[in-house]
Structure 1
Amino acid sequence: MFLLKRLNLFKGLLQPVLLLGGLMLLGTLGYILIEGFSFLEALYMTVITIASVGFNEVRPLSNNGQIFTIFLILINLGLFTYFITLLSRYFFDLEFLKKYKMIKMENSIQQLQNHVIICGFGRNGKESAQVLHDNKIPFVVLEEKNELETDLGFEVKYFMKGDATKDEALLEAGIKNARAVIITLPVDADNLFVVLTAKQLNPNATIISRASQDSSIKKLKIAGASNVIMPDKIGGAHMATLVMLPDVVELLSMMSTKNNTEFRVAEIKAQKSISLNELDLWKNTNCTILGIKDQSNNYTINPPSSYHINPGQSIIVMGSDEQIENAKKMV
């Protein structure tokens, strides 16, 4: 794969090189058949003719040989002009540089671990990328467009042009080492196909898919999506909630997206059995417990102190990086 990508870097120069090789073969065969030259003599005669170096002929040419030489020179002039034009466009139009940067980026992507793949870079894809960027989570954008917009307001370090519905594109985006895949394609059928493919390539990855129709939610979850989001529904509910509880919604939005070393919301997987009263995270670490998720994916919001935690349950806590690390040690 690595060698093929390197060869693809010079793919634009392959045609003129093949034409040059074909011209040399034609010239060599022509001198052998017309003048009766040996292979070495015919090859030497072809090279000095094409190169226009002005050396003496191997032997005086017949009329047919001279006509053939004129024909060879004229073809060579056309080929030389074409080759120079192509070479100039290849390097001066930055085509070579673009391909080189793309191959270098693809190699860097293969070294990533625990990153997120964003399939599709429309409105939802951009918003996801913005949040991941703000929280310093590495991500790869997989999009069919040749280039991304230049006025995004944040840096997209890893970008790949490709069709997310194809196995090869997901593999090149590092699906094997990815922690999650966010699928934001506009067509539900395409999202379903990507969910199936991603789940097959990396069963452990968290897969989050966009859906446009209510009927697609169940199908996407059966296919392997961990969560299915309907942007229109969420947007409408968010707007209505802003009317009722504007400050609360603003605070929750900040808590979920504006993480930093001083404040963030995190999940801690419990490794032992203990009650919240015995654990007393607030007293021991200053962490606040927001809720608990059990093995059946049921949530208990603001659990009482008598709540008993079992191994495998997830505790959603709020605090600084240091406080959360101390809480992890306790549970």
Structure 2
Amino acid sequence: MDPGIYQEFKRKVRNRIAAMVGLLALVAAYGTAGFYYFEPMSLRDAFYMTIISITTVGYAEVIPLSDTGRMFAISTILLGVSSSGIALGILTNLVFEETLFKILRGKHMEKAIHNLNGHYIVCGYGTTGASITEELLLQGETVVVIENNPARAPHTNERTCFHLEGDARQDETLEQAHLSGAKGLATSLPEDADNVFVVLTARALNPDLRIVSRYKDADTQKKLLTAGANHAISPYQMGGQRLALAAANPILMEFIDKPIRQKGMLIHFVQVDVPEMAPIIGKALKNSLIREQSMGALLVGLVQKNGETVFNPGPDFRLDSVQQLLILGDDEQIKSLRLYLGH
């Protein structure tokens, strides 16, 4: 859904609520001033008379009204009933429009998600899930977040970030996230048992999917790997390792951390997919022109189709079955390399 339409809808809601409150306040002010002027009563009593008049509850009058006061009370009742009806109509219309807007927005989101391919699915948008989503978006990936708590819903983007409200443990929800066309799935639900269940379900629905999961208890790691996760990671263990690295090797920590995590840095450490018909296939590394065509990007390693990772390959290493390149470079270098490879 176009963000401009959503902002326009919110503006309409604010304006209608303000109009409804303003109308009722105007009638209350009219009645209070009139009773105070036509009858010998205090402002408090005049306000009380106004309220029982416009709500037509039928309580006793504060004092017996004069003929003028009764005629004014009639006008106050008519205005109160009319304004209450208008306010109720505004409120009903607002609820109907909000419901309709949510339905249309949900249908639009489902259609957009169904057309995705090569996206990532993040199950759970707590602290870990939000961090995973942010990192994937910074790397230029498209993300579908599955979160059943509306209060924790992410800020969606028309092209790169989508929110699907539902239970990630259900087959239907994962299918709505277009699991069959996804590149990977990360599950970060609060309970380990739920993460194991998501991994089992996702692996059954898509045998080729790359799945990563978080866990809290050490015993769960083996269960996640057995269920089909490619990687099982403990945020607490990882956090401890990073803290130790920062304490003992701060320079190394800065070198590893900044290029990967900080937005706006010149240097990035990324994985670049190698298409089947890429010009480097079948060549020795020294003849591949990777460095020349990438404007000097540094090849740190590569991933073979069998899953083997080779770090710092030699110049005579043949690129016969390379699947990904591990590259250290700036935006322009990475863009140039992707263009050379045929992305």
What TM-score comes out, normalization by structure 2 length? 0.62
Structure 2 residue identity aligned to 1:219: K
Q: Does 1:266 align with 2:271?
A: yes
Aligned to 1:182: 186
Give distance in 2, aligned partners of 1:311 and 1:98: 48
Structure 2 residue aligned with 1:305: 315
What's the offset of the Cα at 1:247? 3.0
Query: Which residue of structure 1 lines up, in the alignment, with residue 286 of structure 2?
Result: 277
Shift of 1:326: 5.2
> What's 2:68 paired with?
none
RMSD: 3.4
Distance between the aligned counterparts of 1:304 and 1:202, measured in 2?
36
Q: Which amino acid aligns with 1:277?
A: K
Instruction: Establish whether residue 206 from structure 1 lines up as the match of residue 210 from structure 2.
Output: yes
Secondary structure (helix, strand or coil) at the match of 1:274 reads coil
1:238 has 2:261 as partner? no
Unaligned runs of 5+ in 2: 1-84
Checking the alignment, whether the CA contact within 8 Å between 1:141 and 1:160 is kept in structure 2 is yes
The 3 A distance-change label for structure 1 pair 260 and 135 is: farther
Q: Contact (CA 8 Å) 1:133, 1:154: kept in 2 or not?
A: no
Q: Which of 98, 111, 136 is matched with 1:107 structurally?
A: 111
Matched, 1:228 2:232: yes
| 1:97-176 correspondence to structure 2 within 5 Å | 97-148=101-152, 157-176=161-180
Q: Match for residue 328 of structure 2?
A: 318
Instruction: Please tell me whether residue 252 in structure 1 is matched to residue 256 in structure 2.
Output: yes
Q: What is the correspondence of 1:11-90 to structure 2 with a 5 Å cutoff?
A: 88=92
> Does the 8 A contact of 1:275 with 1:305 survive in 2?
yes
Residues 283 and 221 (structure 1), Cα distance of their counterparts in 2 relative to 1, 3 Å cut:
same
Q: Distance in 2 between matches of 1:101 and 1:154?
A: 13
Cα distance per residue 1:28-58 (max 9 Å; x no partner): xxxxxxxxxxxxxxxxxxxxxxxxxxxxxxx
Match for 1:239: what amino acid? L
Give aligned pairs, total.
246
Paired residues of 2:136 and 2:142 also in contact (CA < 8 A)? yes
Checking the alignment, whether the CA contact within 8 Å between 2:117 and 2:181 is kept in structure 1 is yes
1:67 matched to which residue of 2?
Answer: none
Shift of 1:284: 4.8
Shift of 1:250: 2.4
Gaps of 5+ in 1: 1-80
SS in 1 for 2:175: helix
SS at match of 2:150: coil
Deviations 1:48-71 (A, max 9, x none): xxxxxxxxxxxxxxxxxxxxxxxx
Distance 1:282 1:205 in 2: 31
Compare 292-301 and 218-227 and name the one that shifted more. Answer: 292-301
d(CA) in 1 for partners of 2:265 and 2:340? Answer: 15
**Aligned in 2, Cα 1:137/1:296: closer, same or farther, shift over 3 Å?**
closer
Q: Which residue of 2 aligns with 1:11?
A: none
Distance between the aligned counterparts of 1:282 and 1:103, measured in 2? 46
Q: CA deviation at 1:263?
A: 5.0
Distance 2:334 2:292 in 1: 16
Post-superposition shift, 1:113? 2.1
State which drifts further: 195-204 or 252-261: 252-261
Query: How far apart, CA to CA, are the structure 2 residues paired with 1:176 and 1:260?
Result: 33
Indicate if the aligned counterparts of 1:266 and 1:318 stay in contact, CA closer than 8 A. no
Which residue among 270, 294, 297 is the counterpart of 1:287? Answer: 297
Give the deviation of 1:203 after TM superposition.
Answer: 2.2
**CA drift at 1:130:** 1.3
What is the letter of the counterpart of residue 334 of structure 2? D
- C-alpha change, 1:89 and 1:280, in structure 2 (3 Å) is closer
1:328 aligns with 2:341: yes
CA pair 103-268 structure 1, distance change in 2 beyond 3 A:
closer
Question: Partner amino acid for 1:205?
Answer: L
- In structure 2, the CA distance between the partners of 1:138 and 1:281, relative to structure 1 (3 Å rule), is closer
Q: d(CA) in 1 for partners of 2:188 and 2:254?
A: 24
The farther-off stretch of 241-250 and 253-262 is 253-262
CA contact (8 A) 1:270 1:311 kept: no
Instruction: Give the TM-score normalised by the residue count of structure 1.
Output: 0.64
